[in-house]
Amino acid sequence: MERGDFDSLSALWLEDEISCVHPGWPVLSGRGEVLRSYALIMSHTDYIQFFLTDTKVAVIGDTALVTCTENILSGGPAEDGGELGPLVGQLVVATNVFRRTSEGWRLWSHHGSPVLTESDEDDEDDAS
C-alpha cells in the first residue's frame, strides 16, 4: 500500500470469498469489490505510511487473527504548485483474519474502525 503496488496488494488476498470494511465504509464482499476499493483509495492518495502498534497475533490451525492499531499518515492529491497536499494523521484499530494456503498466508478479512481522539469528541459535543 505504501509503495502503491496494487499487484502486490492484490496477491495478499485470498482468491475466494473475502470481505473488507474500511473506516466509515459499508462491508465490501468479494474479491472484485474489495480490490476495487483499494484501487480507488490508492488512486486518490499520493502518500500513505502506516506505523503499526499494539499488534497481537493468534494462530489456531490454518487461521490467524491479527489485531493492531494503524497510525496512518497520508497526503492527498498535489496542490496546483505540484507539491503534496496537506498530511493528515488518523488512528484506526484493525482486525485482520488470515488463512494459510499452499502459497502461504493470505488475507481473508480486514476490518478497520476509526479511533476517536479527544478533539473528535469535543467537535461532536460542539455540534450538539
Q: Say how far apart CA 44 and CA 76 lie, in whole Å.
A: 7
Domain ranges of the chain: 6-78+86-114
- 95-123 pLDDT, tens digit each: 999 999 999 999 999 999 999 876 655 55
Summary mean pLDDT of the chain? 89
Would the CA dihedral through 55, 24, 88, 80 be positive or negative? positive
C-alpha distances in Å from residue 57, one per residue of 28, 71, 119 = 24, 18, 31
Q: Does the reported pTM lie above 0.85?
A: no
Per-residue pLDDT tens over the stretch 72-90: 998 866 666 666 667 788 9
For the chain, how many residues are written? 128
Q: Give the right CATH number for 6-78+86-114 from 2.60.40.10, 3.30.479.30, 3.10.450.50, 3.90.1150.10.
A: 3.10.450.50
